[in-house]
Amino acid sequence: MYKTDAYAHTRPNAGVTIAPFIYKDEKIKVLLYKRSETSEVYQNLYSLPNRFFDITEFEDLQSAAHFALKEKTNVDIPHMTQFHTFSGQYIDPTRIITINTCYYSILREEEVAVGEEKGEFETKWVDIEEAMTYELAFNHNEVLVMAYQKVKAAAEYTTAPIHFLPKEFTIRELRILTSLLIDQPLDDSRFRQRIEKTGILIKCEGKMKKGANRPAQLFIYNDDYEGFFYPRSVTAPK
Amino acid sequence: MYKTDAYAHTRPNAGVTIAPFIYKDEKIKVLLYKRSETSEVYQNLYSLPNRFFDITEFEDLQSAAHFALKEKTNVDIPHMTQFHTFSGQYIDPTRIITINTCYYSILREEEVAVGEEKGEFETKWVDIEEAMTYELAFNHNEVLVMAYQKVKAAAEYTTAPIHFLPKEFTIRELRILTSLLIDQPLDDSRFRQRIEKTGILIKCEGKMKKGANRPAQLFIYNDDYEGFFYPRSVTAPK
DNA sequence: GTAATAGTGTCTTTTAGACAGTATCGA
DNA sequence: TCGATACTGTCTAAAAGACACTATTAC
């Protein structure tokens, strides 16, 4: 029976890694923590939040990922998407072959309770471009690259980036965020047409965002459109 | 050190599952095999090709998936895509918690050496709609549903379905296949425009497919477009 | 000839792209 | 007033959608 430990030596280590992103000051940031001096491996290196999948502790990978994210960010109901499972000896060369299931998480900055550092973990939010230049623990460099690529791809066709913004936001805010993720300028008029036509946003009647200019209409996301795919990429062909 | 067996009892079973698809007689078929009477679990049920991930046998999940597919289909260089990792006690209730990393494979019918049955495994290609009605082993019902959904989604925006067709094929063949996957009729003229404009196909000069009608130009796939995304879904908006 | 599929042309409607023009706030 | 951002409108170009039309084979 596989239930016994007869096969134990044939089983891999398993773990989860989460790439938690926020959008702050018009930049995408990712959460890293510094591994302690006394870690078994990859001492003192920065790392994405992660967790070994210990079956005496967790029922499934999702729970382990959830735990690891909450431990570092204190966000309880995260927007979390599994995007790939890596495997091989290379992930953690000093141990046995490891399976690493990875998630990215699009978080609302205002809901992230943890700032820089906190008790046992030294955590920090790092500009994504800068984080890419770090030497990270385990295979987290490739994890981070793929995670960010998936987030950017989602911005092309889906409404996923909305989860970066506050509950109530303006069309301008969504446009600037989208423009950042797809790395292209977007025509304001065209963007409004595209958005408003689909019905993905609900106007907050009477609520306006004030500034040193004409007040802007606030909207909330229409959850019915979760998983919605635009029939066309926001990026123009050519 | 995690390398020892001290943590062995905390490690999950790991395995891979492959949903191998072919396109035959204008239908999508999936390969199932019948589990033997003497299997430890799920005796006599149909199952997708699968394999435990034994770290003394495989270096990574990809190799295990490759092995499991070749064992059942004899296809050596498959088009294989990882799409999700399931986990939990429910996958194999009588054993320990299992992690199941899943792949779908789009195969060329002509390259699949195995037909119905073969030696130690009783295998068969089942119409996808019919297979969905089976009671499958492990969590293979949900695996199959998600696998086929991913293949269909790929048909909306990418050139992936081309891997179902013979190396040389006509535009009509590609249109009928695409139409099947997206479950919508496609205008022939429009479809040609879309395809030819991108340059994803290369004309086989002088080669024509003959039938009881005007001969049709044969094309091959331009591999440069592997991973290509159409800026717009093949499905019309509304 | 007919049936069948291949392939082209063309007209209409829809969408995209660019950008001008007006609106409303704070200072 | 001005600067800034919020919108709305409009013209043009491109793409989609529908479908008529011609082409070439087997029979």
> Is A3 part of the contact surface with chain B (CB cutoff 8 Å)?
yes
Greater pLDDT, B104 or A156: B104
Q: What is the pLDDT of residue A235?
A: 62
Which position has the higher pLDDT, A105 or A78? A105
Which of B235, B226, B231, B234 has the alpha carbon at shortest distance from A184?
B231
pLDDT in tens, B125-135: 999 999 999 99
Residue type, position A73, single letter: T
Confidence of residue B68 (pLDDT cuts 50, 70, 90): very high
The string of pLDDT tens digits covering residues B155-178 is: 998 999 999 999 999 999 999 999
pLDDT of residue B230: 84
CB contact at 8 A, A209 and A165: no
- Mean pLDDT value across chain B: 90
Q: How far apart are CA B155 and CA B161, in angstroms?
A: 6
**Residue A54: DSSP 8-state:** -
How confident is the prediction for chain A on average, in pLDDT? 89
- Let me know: does B121 contact B78? Beta carbons within 8 Å: no
Q: Do A55 and B84 touch (CB under 8 A)?
A: no
Would the pLDDT of B66 be above 90? yes
**Strand D: residues with CB below 7 A:** A 170-172, 188-189, 192, 209, 211-217, 237-238; B 187-190, 193-194, 210-215, 232, 236-237
Residue A134 per-residue DSSP state: S
Residue in B155, B187, B162, B144 with CA at minimum distance from that of residue B47:
B144
Contact B236 A231 (CB under 8 A): yes
pLDDT at residue B1, as a whole number: 40
Q: In whole angstroms, give the CA distance from residue B82 to residue B69.
A: 13
**pLDDT score of B40 more than 80:** yes
Nearest chain A residue to B197 by CA: give it.
A237
Best mutation target among A1, A2, A229 (most B Cβ atoms within 10 Å) is: A2
The CA–C1' separation of B236 and C11, in angstroms, is: 19
Q: For residue B52, which residues of chain A lie inside 8 Å, CB to CB?
A: 2, 10
Partners of A12 on chain B (C-beta within 8 Å) are 11, 14, 53, 55
* A65: pLDDT strictly greater than 90: yes
Report for A1-15, A118-132, B142-156: range of highest mean pLDDT: B142-156
Interface of A with B in 123-152 (CB under 8 A): none
CA distance B91 to A64: 17
Contacts of A43 (CB under 8 A, 6+ apart): A35, A36, A37
Gap from B213 CA to D27 C1', Å = 10
User: In this predicted structure, what is the pLDDT of residue B6?
Assistant: 66
When pLDDT is averaged across residues B184-212 and rounded to a whole number, the result is 89
Could you tell me which of B6, B128, B97, B173 has the C-alpha nearest to residue A64?
B97
Range of weakest confidence among A144-158, B19-33, B193-207:
B193-207
Which of B1, B4, B5, B10 is the mutation pick for testing A, counting most A CBs within 10 A?
B10
Q: Is the pLDDT of residue A82 over 50?
A: yes
**Model confidence over A187-200: pLDDT tens digits?**
999 999 999 888 89
End-to-end Cα, chain B, rounded Å? 58
pLDDT band, very low/low/confident/very high, at B116 (cuts 50, 70, 90): low
Q: Which nucleotides of strand D are protein-proximal, with an atom < 7 A from a CB?
A: 3-10, 15-20, 23-27
Q: Is the dihedral of CA B223, B228, B230, B233 positive or negative?
A: positive
What is residue A159's predicted lDDT score, i.e. its pLDDT? 92
